[in-house]
Amino acid sequence: MRAVVQRVTSAAVAVGTEEVGRIGPGLCVLVGVTHEDDAEAARALARRLWHLRIFEDDAGRMQRSAAELDRALLVVSQFTLYADTRRGRRPSFTAAAPPEVAEPLVGALVGELETLGATVRTGRFGADMAVTLTNDGPVTVVLEV
């Protein structure tokens, strides 16, 4: 699993005119699933996300996690994170897991985050979504498990 993680002051996701998820300060997480991923990868990514120390402490150093600060996460499935752009002008998405594999694993990730104590909002799997956010810092990292 691969995640692009952005520290945000706020983030929201909409499907058409319907807002389906919104958070204040926290993490906006775009998640991609590949063929080799399984439930253990989802659990491992959830633990890494919840405990990733990318929030500032009182001294301005990135020493605090979403878990420590009780910050929310907006999790949005993003199959395009596994795009192969090495050749040609059109990306190939063959490394992305098919929806019947990816959807339950994104669900497992969200479930594990909630088990760990996180407040989680999500997009809608497979929908054409509009994600808006205000990146804080800006801080953006890529995680892979």
The yes-or-no answer on residue 80 being catalytic is yes
Q: Which residues of the chain have pLDDT under 50?
A: none
Q: Which domain holds residue 112?
A: 2-144
Helical pair 99-116 and 39-51, crossing angle rounded to 10 deg? 40
pLDDT tens string 71-97: 999 999 999 999 999 999 999 999 999
Query: What pLDDT, on the 0 to 100 scale, is given for residue 125?
Result: 95
Note if 125 is an active site residue.
no
Q: What is the pLDDT of residue 8?
A: 98
* Strands annotated E in 26-111: 26-32, 53-56, 62-65, 72-77
Q: Which of 6, 34, 55, 79 is catalytic?
A: 79
Number of domains in the chain: 1
Q: Which of 6, 34, 55, 78 is catalytic?
A: 78
Residue 15, domain CATH? 3.50.80.10
What are the two backbone dihedrals, phi and then psi, of residue 106, each rounded to the nearest 5 degrees? -65, -40
DSSP letter at 90?
S
Q: Are 64 and 55 in contact (CB under 8 A)?
A: yes
How is residue 80 annotated by DSSP? G
- Does the annotation count 79 as an active-site position? yes
Question: Which residues neighbour 7 within 8 Å (Cβ) at sequence distance 6 or greater?
Answer: 26, 27, 54, 55, 135, 136, 137, 138, 139, 140
